[in-house]
Chain A
Amino acid sequence: MTTGAWVLLIAVVAAVAFGLWRAARDGRFRGTHKVAGALDEGEVSAKAGGRQIPVWEGIELGERATLLQFSSAFCAPCRATRVVLAEVASGLPGVVHQEIDAEHHLDLVRRVGVSRTPTTLILGPDGAELTRAVGAPRKALVLESLNALGIT
């Protein structure tokens, strides 16, 4: 086989493998992410169970939970995510949907470890991250996760 044919084969296999892997993970809530690095000096931070929680400055948190969505203008699935999360929040008292433009909050994006949009964090009443989903989550998955966290 020529170099070109090998490259073609590898590119196709790699793309299909990556696509399937991505499709299997996309939009599922799993784990959290340690807030990267020390919090800025002088920044107020709350402690809960020994964990440092970033203060979500200027973001109004829900009494029971907050669905915090990181979006960017260059992101088609962000709109679908917005619809889903807004719908979930409107159906559950004490649950609030908030959206952050990742592009304009790169400090926060780095600290919280958002690598692509949409990323959705579920925050507790104190602002601690309970879980996160990268990619557009389906409504059933959001409700399932909230349920598992005892929020619904």
Chain B
Amino acid sequence: MSGTQHTQHIDPRGPQFAASLTTAVLAAVLLLAPSPVGIALLAAQAVFFLIGALLGAQRTPWGVLFKRFVRPRLAPPTHWEDARPPRFAQGVGLAFAVVALTGYAAGAPAVGAVATGFALAAALLNAAFGLCLGCELYLTVKKLTARVSTPEPEPART
């Protein structure tokens, strides 16, 4: 880890467990969506994403649920994960949820559904394959946005 100062580590199965619940919620949203129940579920999930983006994935209700009820029943994790990538991914989820909510609110349910679909696909990939698209997006975004070439004095770490 490049910044070892206060790096928090979490059980990697936590975000994966949360992602499976997120997948279920978003599936329900897609099936119910233009109805108030669907919108309310989407809004609730958006709030969860917001909590995750601000405080970390382990602080969302899904994360707390995992810590209280699921983890005590599991064997200790074989490795720990940096808390920052899942937190970043929660922010990506939040972005999709906000676009989806805006779409539904603006009377464009197709936009809402597609944005929800992207968030669902990402959550499902995390839940089923342990693959974090939001985390991988980070380098891509950096590559596209960082125009100024960075000085490279200390290239290698051993």
Closest residue to B120 on the A side, CB-wise? A11
- Which residues in window 1-49 of A have CB below 8 A to B? 2-5, 7-8, 10-12, 14-16, 18-19, 22-23
In the complex, are the beta carbons of A72 and B150 less than 8 A apart? Answer: no
Q: How far is the CA of A16 from the CA of B2 in the complex (A)?
A: 33
Interface residues of chain A: helix, strand, loop or mixed (majority): helix
Residues of B within 8 A of A74 (CB): 82, 84-85, 88, 135, 138-139
In the complex, are the beta carbons of A59 and B155 less than 8 A apart? Answer: yes
Q: How far is the CA of A10 from the CA of B156 in the complex (A)?
A: 43
In the complex, are the beta carbons of A73 and B1 less than 8 A apart? Answer: yes
Give the number of residues in A that approach B within 8 Å (Cβ atoms). Answer: 46
Report which of B125, B143, B153 forms a contact with A109, defined as CB distance below 8 A: B143
With A19-B131, A73-B2, A98-B156 as given contacts, are A8 and B143 in contact (CB-CB < 8 Å)? Answer: no
Q: List 30 A-B contacts (CB under 8 A).
A: A4-B116, A5-B30, A5-B31, A8-B31, A8-B120, A11-B117, A11-B120, A15-B125, A15-B128, A18-B125, A19-B128, A19-B131, A58-B156, A59-B156, A72-B138, A73-B1, A73-B2, A74-B82, A74-B135, A74-B139, A75-B135, A76-B81, A76-B85, A97-B158, A99-B157, A100-B155, A101-B2, A102-B139, A105-B150, A116-B139
Residues of A at the B interface (CB closer than 8 Å) are 2-5, 7-8, 10-12, 14-16, 18-19, 22-23, 56-60, 72-76, 79-80, 97-110, 114-117
